[in-house]
A and B are shown apart, each in its own frame.
Chain A
């Protein structure tokens, strides 16, 4: 009864939405409703003004850097809430991964993971720094590193994985994205009077471009490392279980 009512309501809403969709301008038309005058400026002068050949990357990190800071803050807040609900996987005190038994997997997954991990981390480092010229951004790199650590956790046990991560270092690294944005932004206020302005006063030409690039790399590194550590810690907190923890020494 409830499902039938929901399906009927959804069919009615769907019909209305499809009629609205059919009256929209044709897909691929240049007169689309979202083409404002700012888009022409971003596309035409983005490579010169913002210094990146990758146009969405310089919209993210230069024209709309404040929104990226909002993104980093939201991610950090969600992670704080996850830690408040679940608690942190303590170092050296957790049991094995998804199944309750402390036996880790067989030979083949362990060997394959040991061969794959350096390649994946190298690719993540490439993606981190390739955003200047080609596709790539710091967030993908952070996620790749986090996925690698989760892979190691799944194949070897959770105990091995948490033994190698110090709690103090992890706690500092999680807040690195917000810290990087704040440091670069306040530097912009002190030097030029505007938050997140990427330049020193009195510099022109190549020096200005170098300074801007350094600041964007700092922000990118902060976002990448923080994303990696945040998602790793979230998954480790999801994996841990109360009441089954083995008391073992860290050494």
Chain B
């Protein structure tokens, strides 16, 4: 069990760290808006991990110019996956925030979510 390999897998280690920060925000903070911010940080970490998988050492722009060599292009497939993931992350954030606003309209209090209805005991 040695951690000596993380110095040149720096992006992966940073993605793991960001993911743990996001999980802490989702689980240990009472406010739902803060939990949604933690969800955004978790998604950021996953995207960083996915794109760093596709790096080719010395790889450059992935727009094909007339004199290119195929081995120097960065892997485009993780970029496509992350692209779609970003759109879905934004949809998730929109939906979660709309639920927060609606809960606040009904209950006037966001931190303690009541499950027994507005006029129950």
Contact = CB atoms under 8 A, between A and B. Distances in A.
B9 interface: yes
A134 interface: yes
A68 B56 CA distance: 25
Given A40-B70, A55-B63, A18 B27 contact: no
B52 A27 contact: yes
Given A44-B70, A74-B88, A18 B6 contact: yes
Given A27-B9, A56-B80, A238 B101 contact: yes
Contacts of A56: 62, 76, 79-80, 83
B interface: dominant SS: helix
B20 A135 contact: no
Contact of A53 (B10, B24, B54, B63): B63
Contact of A24 (B5, B19, B54, B79): B5
Interface residues of A, number: 61
Contacts of B105: 242
Given A43-B73, A85-B99, A139 B4 contact: no
A18 B16 contact: yes
B8 A81 contact: no
A3 interface: yes
A144 B39 CA distance: 24
Given A17-B16, A43-B76, A71-B88, A27 B8 contact: yes
Nearest to A2: B28
B102 A85 contact: yes
Interface of B: 1-6, 8-13, 16-17, 19-20, 23-24, 27-28, 52-59, 62-65, 70-71, 73, 75-80, 83-84, 87-88, 90-92, 94-95, 97-99, 101-102, 105
29 contacts: A2-B28, A6-B28, A10-B23, A13-B20, A17-B20, A19-B3, A21-B16, A24-B9, A27-B8, A27-B55, A28-B56, A32-B55, A32-B75, A34-B54, A42-B77, A43-B70, A56-B80, A59-B77, A60-B80, A60-B83, A71-B87, A74-B91, A75-B87, A75-B91, A77-B91, A79-B94, A134-B63, A137-B83, A231-B90
